[in-house]
Amino acid sequence: MNIEKLQKKLLAVARQDAPSDRVPYAFEKRIMARLRQAPAADAWVYWGRMLWRATAPCVAVMVVLSVWTFYSASGNGSEVNLEDAVLAPVQLAYE
């Protein structure tokens, strides 16, 4: 059996077997009825989608800033103690 020839033959058969473009009666009415039944857009859904879409850019910005802060702090030798920085105004007030 010549499989190549059989494949070509079957594809030729498929080419000649064009599918029908017949449409069921009033099919467009059925779709329009579905569209009319569709619930109205919920603002919270859109808000939720926007938040999800914003997740990736926010994470990217956070990573970039973290890396930048890490390297800029460790590179120039000016390490700042977090505790001292936060409490600096209090200490100034006591002095």
Partner 1 sequence: MERSDDELIHAVLNGDTESFELLIQRYQPRVFATARRYARREDEVADIVQEIFIKAFQKLSGFRRDAPFEHWLMRLAVRTCYDALRVHQRNRESLFTEITEEQSEWLERFNANPDGADDHGDAARQLVRKILEQLPPAARLVITLLEIEERSVKEISALTGWSVPLVKVRAFRARAAMRKILDKMERDKYL
Q: What is the dihedral sign for C-alpha 76, 81, 82, 85?
A: negative
Residue 15 vs 53, nearer CB to partner 1 = 15
Is 76 a residue that touches partner 1 (CB under 8 A)?
A: no
Residue type, 60: A
Is 13 a residue that touches partner 1 (CB under 8 A)?
A: yes
Residues 6+ apart with CB under 8 A from 73: 79, 80
Site string for partner 1, 27-66 (x = CB under 8 A): xxxxxx-xxx-x----------------------------
Is 17 a residue that touches partner 1 (CB under 8 A)?
A: yes
Question: What token pair was written down for 7?
Answer: 């494949």
Q: Which residues bind partner 1 (CB under 8 A)?
A: 1-7, 9-24, 27-32, 34-36, 38
